[in-house]
Structure 1
Amino acid sequence: MTKKELRSTYKQKRLEISSKEKLRLDDLLLIRFQQLAFENVEVLLSYWPMGHHAEPNTILYTSYLRHSIPGLRIGYTRTNFGDCSMQAVEINEDTLYTTNHIGITEPCGDIYIDPEEIDLVFVPMLICDVDGYRVGYGKGFYDRFLSRCRPDVLKVGFSYFEPVSTIDDRNEFDIPLDYCITQDCIYEF
């Protein structure tokens, strides 16, 4: 299937998950995620899950790492729709947030993290394939941002669904994940 077909299918599948089932799945994803070791991670880039898209609850996974890694610096994404770019804004317990015009909650701060400093990125996705290539929301924000990170940055996606066999229209700008966490498995690519 193409990205467009997969995007349509998996957006709908996520919306069909009941609230109760989503809570259960988020807990299972956290349990799987806790099986990974991140000894050398000092800087994490996360994102606020969009409720209207029924995204996995990345706040759980971010909080887990915050408590597991003393001194962890955490950034959240801020998007610029004018040029389809993204920045990593460092957050702390005093950070204020705003919701942009498409429903993405973003930090209001002005302390930026250089992409080269980031060790681990939580990458939003609807589905990925068995090679780690993912289908996002179709604007390329993350692939452009990830191309500015170090080659060894760890890229982790969380999914309520197992990977598909292939995405038919992958291209040279697509950057694969290193891990996809599902309720049943940790896929390493």
Structure 2
Amino acid sequence: MDKNELRKHYTALRSALGPTQIDSLSIAISNRLLQLPLWQGSYYHIFLPIPSKNEIDTSHILTILFGKDKNVVIPKVVGNTLENYLLTDQTKLKTSSWGVPEPMDGLSVPEKLIDVVFIPLLAYDEQGNRVGYGKGFYDGLLAKCKPDTLKVGLSLFGPEKKIGDVRKEDIPLDYCVTPEQVYRF
């Protein structure tokens, strides 16, 4: 399938899930993350979910990150790019016009400091290619990160065999974590 078909298909699958299912699946993903060799870093970029889109609840991962005393970085959309801010107790969030909780201001974090990026997905394939909402925000972010930054997709579902319309500027995942399994690419 191509990306647009996958977007429609996985948006419908997510829409069919209830809040209790999303929470259970999110906890399972958080627990699976603990199996990965990615906890030696300092700066961890994570998305805050859009509840209306039934995205993974990342609050469980935030608890792990703060428990491990990591620097947590969250994105804010500015124009067609993601700016990165340190999440602290003083960070004030505001919901954007897209429904994304974003920092109003704060300490900016350069991409080159980020060790791990947790990436929201609609779909991905067995080669680690990913499908999001199609705006290219994460491709832009990942292109600015250091080459050894780990790219970890978080998905409620397993992989597709192959995405038909992958572009050369699409940056693949290193891992994808689902409630049932960890995939390494």
Q: TM-score range by the shorter chain?
A: over 0.9
Aligned ranges for residues 142-157 of structure 1 at < 5 Å?
142-157=138-153
Provide the residue aligned with 1:87 in structure 2: 83
Provide the residue aligned with 1:159 in structure 2: 155
2: CA distance between counterparts of 1:67 and 1:123?
A: 20
Aligned ranges for residues 6-85 of structure 1 at < 5 Å?
6-68=6-68, 70=69, 72-80=70-78, 82=79, 84-85=80-81
Q: 1:135 aligns with which of 128, 131, 134?
A: 131
Aligned ranges for residues 114-125 of structure 1 at < 5 Å?
114-125=110-121
1: CA distance between counterparts of 2:49 and 2:92?
A: 16
Once the two structures are superposed, what CA deviation does each residue of 1:124-152 show, in whole Å capped at 9, x if it has no partner?
Answer: 11111001111000000110111000010
1: CA distance between counterparts of 2:39 and 2:56?
A: 24
Greater CA deviation, 5-14 or 56-65? Answer: 56-65
- Scaled by the length of structure 1, the TM-score of the pair is 0.94
Q: 2:103 aligns with which of 104, 107, 110?
A: 107
2: CA distance between counterparts of 1:117 and 1:90?
A: 11
Pairwise CA distance, 1:30: 1.5
2: CA distance between counterparts of 1:168 and 1:37?
A: 30
Letter in structure 1 aligned against 2:117: V
Q: Percentage identity across aligned positions?
A: 34
2: CA distance between counterparts of 1:9 and 1:66?
A: 34
Given that residues 45 and 118 in structure 1 are in contact (C-alpha distance below 8 angstroms), is that contact kept between their aligned partners in structure 2? yes
1: CA distance between counterparts of 2:12 and 2:22?
A: 14
CA RMSD after TM alignment: 1.1
Give structure 1 stretches of 5+ with no counterpart.
none
Pairwise CA distance, 1:113: 0.5
Give structure 2 stretches of 5+ with no counterpart.
none
SS for the counterpart of 1:26 is: helix
Total equivalences in the alignment? 185
2: CA distance between counterparts of 1:20 and 1:2?
A: 30
- Scaled by the length of structure 2, the TM-score of the pair is 0.96
- Give structure 1 regions of 4+ aligned residues with deviation exceeding 4 angstroms: none
Alpha-carbon distance change, 41 to 161 in structure 1, aligned in 2, over 3 angstroms: same
Given that residues 96 and 102 in structure 2 are in contact (C-alpha distance below 8 angstroms), is that contact kept between their aligned partners in structure 1? yes
SS for the counterpart of 2:120 is: coil
